[in-house]
Chains A and B, each alone.
Chain A
Amino acid sequence: MSCRRDLAASLAFFAVGIGVCVGAGRLGFGSVHAPEPGFFPWLGGLTLVGLSACLFVQALRGRSSVTAPKGEWLGPGLLLGALILYVPCLEPLGYPVTTAALCVVVLRVLKTRRWSVTLGASVALALSTYLLFRRVLGIELPPGVFWF
């Protein structure tokens, strides 16, 4: 399992490294005498390709340094999904509404037992931070459907 994770990671880094090398080529390498904007990215991309190849070989040989235990994916997945949905909704719906909805998801994912606590805390947190940061600290959080 750990080696499979390393294999996947090495392939991802390899792809990034190749992409950077190709992008650097379009920018132009120049020469050692007169390096152009692509010179340093090309070095970085090439280094990443080399390192990911070493990682790939290490993973193929069954040697992995992964120490993180295999955990439950549902909670982080739900939370990440909520955060991804939060981003496009933030400006049209406004900070208070979207943040209250996000808090509900987070508190439920973290197994807050009572719905009354979840809903009350979510609304209170969203409104209090909105008022604190917008009104007191002057941070322009999007009001959305709120007029204040």
Chain B
Amino acid sequence: MDVFGGLAHGFSIALTPANLLYAAIGSVLGTAIGVLPGLGPPATIALLLPATYKIDATSAVIMVAGIFYGAMYGGSTTSILLNIPGEAASVVTCLDGYQMARQGRPGAALGISAIGSFIAGTFGIVGLSLLAPPLAAFALRFGPAEYFALILLGLMMAIYLSEGSALKGLTMAATGLILGMVGLDPVQGAERFTFGLAKLTDGFDFVVVAMGLFGIAEVLSNVEAPEMRDIFKTALKGLLPTREDWRRCWASVVRGSFLGFFIGILPGGGATISSFMAYAVEKRVSKAPERFGHGAIEGVAAPEAANNAAASSSFIPLLTLGIPGNASIAMIFVALMIHGIRPGPMLLSEHPDVFWGAIASMYIGNVMLLALNLPLIGVWVKLLKVPYNFLAVGVLIFCIIGAYSVNNSAFDVGTVVVFGAVGYLLRKGGFPAAPLVLAMILGPQLERTLQQSLIGSGGDLRVFVEGPISATLLVGAVGLAASPALRWLWGHCVRARAAKTTA
């Protein structure tokens, strides 16, 4: 099936009334959680995963994908009107978006954000449609050694590009790998670290762990420091950018789209980094960089375009290689696994309905989001008046019901509470949760491919460096893993040289 044939097949699936409904539910929920500070896409997807048990895989992916890219649209609203980012990817939009609102142009800021997001999102999906099939075909050549090296590189990039200290990211990834080992050994079937508990034989359920780490931990953190919401009171008019606005920012949207698309493909790249980089690039190429931070419309257009393009392109490693690059995509990975579908190069040939249906639904969802965000902006602003008390109670109830519904057991509710407490403490210590979840998901695959490679080569470690693909990937992974130590050594040398020169 070629790209156009695939897309036609995908649209025939995505345009059924049921799937249109799921795309609409995902887009609305995504926009809502994007608008509401204090609840991110990974937490929302984790909370809603139990609701996807009874629907088919394609519809489930259509809905959860809608939540993810919908959140990118909604996140800018709070950044512009409250100076509080709804999402991490919208932090940088606060800088100029809120200033535009203060200068009486919140409509233009919201308008360019929505239109820029639509253009970039569509660009990202076109790129995804064109790049994913050849990449999946290429990945079919991979053996266990190549896969081992690829997963290792993916994990390292996710850690390296995640927020905060690389050392803490690595520690989280090692912890995630260990948590992923609980249960039966994937090759020999021996029980590991179950402490005699029959309920741990299948290991920790990803949904329960994610709900604890993202849902309950988020509520506990917000209880500690409740947000003060002060909506900027001004008339929301003039949502369509003027000709002058367009002249200023069309190139920013284009640059943001390209940058976001390529950063989104990298594991760990994602929407947040791309939005910061797009802002930095715009400031650097601008003839009047002093306008940035004081209401420059390019400072809103570029990061919003970048985070939406990145949200679309971050599906590429998931759908073609089976590597989730960030926490939200990891939750989509889990949604597929729940339905017995393993993302990766075989997804296109074994489940073309899921592959093309999900991609086609993104085109539709993107149009839905534009329609939802511009005319209904007043509704989203009113949503901000929902007191956090009730939102927090809702999140806790969803976590409890979601955990209980996995096995109809209070044991899973206990697990979600334990991981909630752990997640809260990790946040307090500045340890990022995303590498832990990614490593926990990828750990069993990493172990399986390592054992298969070693058994297949008779224990010859050269199997990892003989092939050009695995050797290149492994060099990249080792380089990234060693980078904190290399940076420390370099800094040490520079300081020593400076001290010698001063003496």
A interface vs B, CB < 8 Å? 2, 5-6, 9, 13, 16-17, 20, 23, 27, 31-41, 44-45, 47-48, 51-52, 54-55, 58, 64-69, 71-73, 75-76, 79-80, 83-84, 86-88, 90-91, 95, 99, 102-103, 106-107, 109-112, 121-122, 125, 129, 133, 137, 139-142
Contacts and interface: CB of A to CB of B under 8 A. Distances in A.
Interface stretch (B18-26, B80-88, B166-174, B350-358): B166-174
Contact of A72 (B171, B177, B224): B224
A131 B58 CA distance: 28
Contact of B170 (A35, A51, A75): A51
Nearest to B163: A67
Given A32-B459, A80-B421, A87 B410 contact: yes
A79 B190 CA distance: 38
B323 to A, nearest CB: 19
B66 to A, nearest CB: 20
Contacts of A75: 223-224
B283 interface: no
B389 A45 contact: no
Contacts of B401: 129, 133, 139, 141
A136 to B, nearest CB: 12
Contact of A79 (B50, B178, B220, B225): B220
A107 B391 CA distance: 10
Given A87-B413, A129-B401, A67 B164 contact: yes
Given A9-B431, A44-B181, A87-B417, 15 more contacts: A35-B455, A40-B181, A44-B177, A65-B165, A67-B430, A72-B224, A73-B224, A75-B223, A76-B221, A79-B220, A83-B396, A86-B400, A90-B400, A90-B410, A99-B400
Interface of B: 50-51, 164-165, 167-168, 170-171, 174-175, 177-178, 181, 185, 187-188, 190, 192-193, 216, 219-221, 223-226, 387-390, 392-394, 396-397, 400-401, 404-405, 408, 410, 413-414, 417, 420-421, 424, 427-431, 443, 447, 450-451, 454-455, 458-459, 461
A37 B171 CA distance: 22
B168 A48 contact: no
B174 A44 contact: yes
Contacts of B192: 23, 27, 37-38, 41
8 contacts: A2-B430, A13-B171, A33-B458, A33-B459, A68-B427, A69-B225, A90-B400, A111-B226
